[in-house]
A = this chain, B = another copy of it.
């Protein structure tokens, strides 16, 4: 885990690119709520506030899902002021597991975009 600090943009701990494990990424993605989050983030040019996700689960459950994604290396989370922001680690995942994220997001959009 690496961590850096910045007054207005503090990232939470996350695995370095070379530490991202395939099993952890697949486990993180093997959940309908987390797939929806990842698919939403894949369609955003910028980072997204945690509160912006329209998924029908309790806030504490959503916090858990974001943590699983971050600890697996799928997303980056950081604090900006009082907000917790999220972004996909698109380039890191493409470097570590070429094609994986793209095929998962495309597969989800083609077949799995059902209410959870």
Contact = CB atoms under 8 A, between A and B. Distances in A.
Contacts of A102: 99
B97 A107 contact: yes
Contacts of A31: 23
Interface residues of A, number: 24
The quantity of this chain's copies bound in the complex is 2
Contact of A107 (B30, B32, B100, B111): B100
Contact of A106 (B98, B108, B112): B98
Nearest to A107: B97
A32 to B, nearest CB: 6
Interface string A76-109: 0000000000000000000011111011101110
A44 B106 CA distance: 27
A37 B24 CA distance: 17
A41 interface: no
B111 A22 contact: yes
A59 interface: no
Given A97-B103, A100-B103, A100-B104, 7 more contacts: A22-B104, A22-B108, A22-B111, A96-B107, A98-B103, A99-B102, A99-B106
